A and B are shown apart, each in its own frame.
Chain A
């Protein structure tokens, strides 16, 4: 008798425990189902995870109309003189600044072919930044050819490291979707933004090059190298795109290296016959003006390069570089 009732109690307790557990499971499943409910199938998409990024304005207040044109044969002395003529590197780079230099390392070609930023010029600029007190200088680009080969063969990688800068290679995780406010073309496009994190000053360094599609490739087009994805598509509307590039990136300084200009067969060139010694280097804070001057080195006018007028109309700078009163310096 007692054993029966004991057994019954045991069974009841067991049942109650199991009921509680079952009830708990049902409640948990129900709650989860309710929280995760999706009527339209539009939630839970992988594209939701990508947070958009925004690029800041890196120009130094009060320096917006500075430009210097240096005539000379040696890049190192020319850039030094050029920077001095617009107030010295100290007016731009302050102690403790993190500096990012966007070079042109698009192709895996030798420096002599002038399709990429000259490594000696880069070394000098890095050195000057560090001398001005920068805490860190980084060099980056998203090349068209394979990044490792590009940074190596152009000499840029070695130049950066030996002068104390670090090279940031374009890793896939470094790209974030970016939208240009008011832009038509740059909408949620993957851009290499990770190198910009924590950066206070941005310098763009580009050689003067002819370009089959856009007419010329100089400081404004240099920012194309920050874009990822299937960026070739922007060639379909190249001038409007370069205009939007100039609106998107507001650098501290741009340096246009016209010591050796690629006159034909740009942007890859490939033969020394494509080059001409134009012996001019420009430093400035207005990339539109700098490019407008650069056009003259290629024997073109601003009207041959529609993107310059578009950029001016969009307020990214002025095409009338003479109105800035550029300092003209001759290196010895």
Chain B
């Protein structure tokens, strides 16, 4: 059996497994629903996710230990993940194959030649890792400055190095200058970084370009809802995701670029591939030429996926183990073995020092730059409502992969990819939008918190979410608070009875209570012309028949003391009929002024009970800008937003 066949089988296998995981990520216990399917497995296998979260949080969360297995295999065998496992890579491989079918060999060779742009993905990786390292770097520097022996030692080394350089005693002038510059750079960075400690935080932005979160996001939030809109098998209703156009566009562009150059994304952009490439110098088994006897037919490079030049000095960091070269070679010159290639090999990624420094520094500086906007601290956006179980914002941004699993699993479709509302760092992180979903955040549901691969949404028990059992003292998890808009609410502003929000509030006792209020309707003051025990005839106005018959309207005789109001059961153009239990004991005289009033139950939010679940906002009949809206005040995860003591 040829190894390329096995490779293709492997790619198809993992792609199908990935697709299956995407399909079953619906809440439920049927075989085609979530059950115990390990739907996050690809994210857990991803070493960039593991490394990123280790840098930002200093911990390796539970399932991410799978990444160690991948790292071990990569160190042994090379970039097998890219060529054999990665579902995104398989898409690129396939589209690239379609793109170069029918093209002549010379064109193929041209497309697969190593390109300077392949260095870009290493810069991308470095940028992302440095953006994630802010706190770690600050901590190390602080450690240096707080520990006198280390501080003094470094200062001594600097002085000695400076002295030697100046005196010219060091034999290797260049090395001395380099060392001197490094020291100066260190002290400058320290002076720069240490006082900025407040602004420096770590931000996990690898999810933007890391292929595994990217492909999960694209399939779950764009492809599946599109495909299902006609078949209606996966979802009961149409799933909507705000800003899906951008996610889809990124995906489409990445895929279509393969028509221009095969595996464009893998070669030029992918930071995960770059991470594997960096480990290439350690790999034990590699592709290489067995002997120098080669006819230079270059057939091996016709279908080289990694653009790694197996015919010449093979660039091991670029090789994705597609095995096409091995397969194509007619002379058995290419082999996969532990010995280095006979025609030489490059073990280190092709990066320029300038590019390295630029990528690193800009990564370190980017996050403080973005944080200056104050969005993380003082001018936080109240429209950003995070799912229950979310950590406080800084910790959340340090963990969120923007993989979209929480958005996929949410049964009511309220978890949405954020735009720029939460700042640049918040792009595609989960926020709740209660208008777009089919309900609010369900009272009994904790699905999103259990599906998050990095615990940016910490897994919470139902007891913790509802504030029951062991959590009764702490109270329920609040994700925000509902505020009634008195200018838009029907009973508050429009004299129209409505208690939809109160009825739908799922908390017990309800977090919305009503206060009764009677208001005289427009043109509701009329004069009695004649009266009977159960009805009166009015003059002066023409009433709309049936308008006051719904049971919400009452008749108030102005001269009667107190709150005597009589319920109206029917009305004609000039008659008003009362309910039997409110019959007139003493008939009002002709000429008596009476008022037709509407009974309004005006909703009020009980701050101590409202959890911000958004069901009220969803159900509110004022469907544009809702008359009761949830904003992030009083959310449990951030002490400083609390409204209550």
Contact = CB atoms under 8 A, between A and B. Distances in A.
Those 8 A-B pairs whose CB atoms lie nearest each other, nearest first: A41-B455, A44-B57, A38-B59, A44-B59, A36-B60, A11-B339, A22-B282, A22-B75
Interface string B243-287: 000000000000000000000000000000000000101111000
11 contacts: A11-B338, A19-B284, A25-B282, A30-B68, A38-B455, A39-B61, A40-B62, A42-B458, A46-B394, A46-B398, A237-B645
Given A33-B68, A38-B62, A41-B459, A15 B339 contact: yes
Contacts, number: 100
A33 B284 contact: no
Contacts of A44: 57-59, 395
B474 interface: no
A11 B337 CA distance: 11
A12 to B, nearest CB: 9
Interface in A207-258: 229-230, 233-234, 236-237
A233 B68 contact: no
Nearest to B76: A22
Interface in A4-52: 11, 14-15, 18-19, 21-22, 25-26, 29-30, 32-33, 36-47
B324 interface: no
A42 B644 CA distance: 25
A323 interface: no
Contacts of B639: 188, 229
A186 to B, nearest CB: 11
Contacts of B68: 29-30, 33
B400 interface: no
B557 interface: no
A185 interface: yes
B155 interface: no
Interface string B64-86: 01011001100110000000000
Chain A interface, >50% SS class = helix
A37 B283 contact: no
A223 B549 CA distance: 61
B60 A29 contact: no
Interface in A137-182: 172-173
Contacts of B644: 233, 236
Interface string B23-65: 0000000000000000000000000001000100111111001
Contacts of A236: 644-645
Contacts of B58: 36, 43-44
Given A41-B455, A42-B458, A14 B340 contact: yes
Interface string B445-461: 00000000011001100
Given A30-B68, A46-B395, A47-B392, A229 B54 contact: no
Contacts of A29: 68, 71-72
Nearest to B73: A26
Contacts of A188: 639
B465 to A, nearest CB: 15
B381 interface: no
Contacts of B65: 33, 37
Contacts of B281: 21
B198 interface: yes
A26 B284 CA distance: 12
Interface residues of B, number: 42
Contact of B391 (A33, A45, A234): A45
A46 to B, nearest CB: 5
Contact of B54 (A15, A32, A42): A32
Interface in B127-157: none
Interface residues of A, number: 35
Nearest to B139: A49
A234 B60 contact: no
A120 to B, nearest CB: 36
Contacts of A33: 50, 60, 65, 67-68
Contact of A25 (B75, B198, B392, B455): B75
Given A14-B340, A37-B65, 14 more contacts: A11-B340, A18-B283, A25-B75, A26-B75, A33-B65, A33-B67, A36-B59, A40-B459, A41-B454, A44-B59, A45-B57, A46-B392, A230-B641, A233-B644
B284 A15 contact: yes
Interface in B171-221: 197-198, 201
A36 B60 CA distance: 5
A15 B338 contact: yes
A51 to B, nearest CB: 13
Contacts of B640: 229-230
By CB atoms of chain A within 10 A, which of B68, B71, B394, B639 has the most? B639
Given A44-B57, A233-B642, A26 B71 contact: yes
A45 B50 CA distance: 16
B459 A26 contact: no
A19 B338 CA distance: 10
B643 interface: yes
Contacts of A38: 57, 59-62, 455
B192 to A, nearest CB: 17
A41 B645 contact: no
Contacts of A41: 61-62, 454-455, 458-459
A22 B59 contact: no
Nearest to B50: A33
Contacts of B641: 230
Contacts of B283: 18, 22
A44 B50 CA distance: 14
A42 B279 CA distance: 31
Interface in B431-488: 454-455, 458-459
A190 to B, nearest CB: 9
Contacts of A185: 645
A26 B74 CA distance: 10
Nearest to A43: B59
Contacts of A39: 61-62
By CB atoms of chain A within 10 A, which of B61, B394, B395 has the most? B61
A43 B644 CA distance: 27
Nearest to A20: B282
A175 B33 CA distance: 49
A26 B338 CA distance: 18
Contact of B59 (A14, A26, A37): A37
Contacts of A11: 338-340
A241 to B, nearest CB: 8
A229 B639 CA distance: 9
Contacts of B75: 22, 25-26
